A and B are shown apart, each in its own frame.
Chain A
Amino acid sequence: MGLLTRYTETAPCTVEVVHKFEELSAHVRLDNGATINPGDSVLVHGTPVMAPWGEAVSEQRMATITRASLIERLWTRLTGDMEFMELCEFSFSDETRATGTGGVAA
């Protein structure tokens, strides 16, 4: 890990999506045991994974992990807390006037 330089690595991953009445969930698991650290980014290759209604799918994909530089990692550790409001859940989005999109354009 460089002080200022990022580097990337690829890792096989499993994407699991459950799109059912009793469960809606989606997870990405890195299969080679790589762990994600503060400031790292993960990009799963390929087209979006979506299970049809009522189904669960599990797909093997490749992922690119962009490792944060040492400075970035420290910075994320120091400042990540400032985004703590992201951890709090309110029943509504932060739009001052609701557009019915949950505040996110699809």
Chain B
Amino acid sequence: MNVQTQPASHTADATTVEEGLAIQQAQSKFDSKAATDLAMQNTLLTPRFYTTDFEELDAIDVSPVRADWDKLMEQMRSDPNKGHFRKTEDWDAVDWENMDPELKAEALDFLISSCTAEFSGCVLYKEMKRRGTNEDIKELFSYMSRDEARHAGFINDALREAGVAVNLGFLTREKKYTYFRPKFIYYATYLSEKIGYARYITIYRHLEANPEHRFHPIFKWFREWCNDEFSHGEAFALLMRTDPKITQSFANRLWIRFFLTAVYSTMWVRDHARPKFHEALGVDIDWYDMEVFRKTSTIARQVFPIELDIDNPRFRSGCERMNRAAIAMDAAKARGGVGGLLGRIAAGANAAFAFANLYTIPVKKNDVPENVRLEPAF
């Protein structure tokens, strides 16, 4: 239970929506004027919409992990990061005007993609909370939705500062709802949250040692931020442990292997397409990605019965091949015509071959520990 003894003076301290609104009132007048005065670049947020098997989700019984579950819920209820997402004197000014245009484009791509990701998470989690009837599940999704909305707000503010205003036009566009089985949501969101943690903490630690490379103040907030990601991942780990079949059956082991391969190789390709961003951070992308895979693999031993062998030389060469295929695909699309079509077919075949090659690397077996819960330790 949150008890506010002093009136909050910053919206990040607000316990209720009403309180947040009251604090905002004076500031908002100035802010909205400033926003309309600036020629803001408009960016359309495009969250994804999906449905799942809500009955199956409701049927989850957390009894097998009750003690760990209650502890995690208590931690999320206490909202340890409530006051963290605020601008303090540590928020240095960013010279967007004079930033190298390529770096600026990549940095904005980072902020917009991250904002969309948090925003999509918020939409998905809130929908799960709304459609569910299982009190444990509803409580979990309400906290995760709260955290994601808070992160999205924080990034949105950084975007406004960069002259980018979000456009919520998607709300009145036709939205088609696709479908994912609950276990796909567990695997994908568990991995996203844990990889998110590994990515943020690796950058945070790197910048702690090399502060001269911190070209934007948002990186200073990464540690507490990724602790939220970490606890969300913990919740999905517990959900997966409620039923051994979700991770242990033969077919599901193959799915997990598939997810790990797809997510790791996609991350490799996306990061390598952002050279200026990583150069500004002073981060070698090959090193960074391998480090993130290593941390994620270590963490995922808590729940996945298999682990990709990232030290197998085929892993690195497979990722590199995938990247070359992605670059070739892009070039072929730009070329167009018959040549472009042939190029696309060749690039697609190359990507499929690279994926098959990565997927067939023998995996390492892992006996999941009795005790699921982990604390952020990197």
Contact = CB atoms under 8 A, between A and B. Distances in A.
Interface of chain B: mostly helix, strand, loop or mixed: helix
Interface string A81-106: 10111111111111111111111111
Interface in B103-140: 104-106, 108-110, 112-123, 126-127, 130-131
Which of A26, A46, A100 has the largest number of chain B CB atoms within 10 A?
A100
Interface string B4-31: 0000000110100100110011011101
A38 B43 CA distance: 28
Given A20-B20, A26-B171, A53 B108 contact: no
Interface in B253-268: 259, 262-263, 266-267
Nearest to B120: A89
A52 B40 CA distance: 14
A32 interface: no
B184 A87 contact: yes
B167 interface: yes
A28 B127 CA distance: 9
Size class of the B contact interface (CB-based, 8 Å): 35 or more
Interface string B146-188: 0001101111110010000011110111111111110011001
Contacts of B248: none
Contacts of B31: 53-54
Given A53-B28, A84-B188, A102 B109 contact: yes
Contacts of A27: 123, 126-127
Nearest to A55: B28
A41 B174 CA distance: 6
Nearest to A66: B174
A101 B175 CA distance: 21
Interface in A50-83: 50, 52-56, 66, 76-77, 80-81, 83
A37 B168 contact: no
Nearest to A18: B149
Interface stretch (B44-52, B62-70, B349-357, B365-373): B44-52
B149 A24 contact: yes
A74 to B, nearest CB: 10
B344 interface: no
Interface string A18-54: 1111111111110000011111111111111110111
Given A20-B11, A88-B191, A83 B126 contact: no
Contacts of B142: none
Interface of chain A: mostly helix, strand, loop or mixed: loop
B44 A105 contact: yes
Contacts of A94: 270
Size class of the A contact interface (CB-based, 8 Å): 35 or more
Given A22-B12, A29-B130, A48-B171, A91 B113 contact: yes
Given A80-B179, A103-B112, 12 more contacts: A22-B85, A24-B119, A40-B177, A42-B177, A52-B32, A76-B178, A87-B48, A88-B191, A93-B109, A96-B326, A98-B106, A105-B44
Interface of B: 11-12, 14, 17, 20-21, 24-25, 27-29, 31-32, 35, 41-44, 46, 48, 50-51, 85-86, 102, 104-106, 108-110, 112-123, 126-127, 130-131, 145, 149-150, 152-157, 160, 166-169, 171-181, 184-185, 188-189, 191-192, 196, 199, 259, 262-263, 266-267, 270-271, 273-274, 277, 326-327, 330
Interface of A: 15, 17-29, 35-50, 52-56, 66, 76-77, 80-81, 83-106
14 contacts: A19-B168, A20-B11, A29-B130, A37-B177, A38-B178, A38-B179, A39-B179, A45-B172, A50-B167, A87-B185, A91-B199, A92-B270, A96-B327, A97-B330
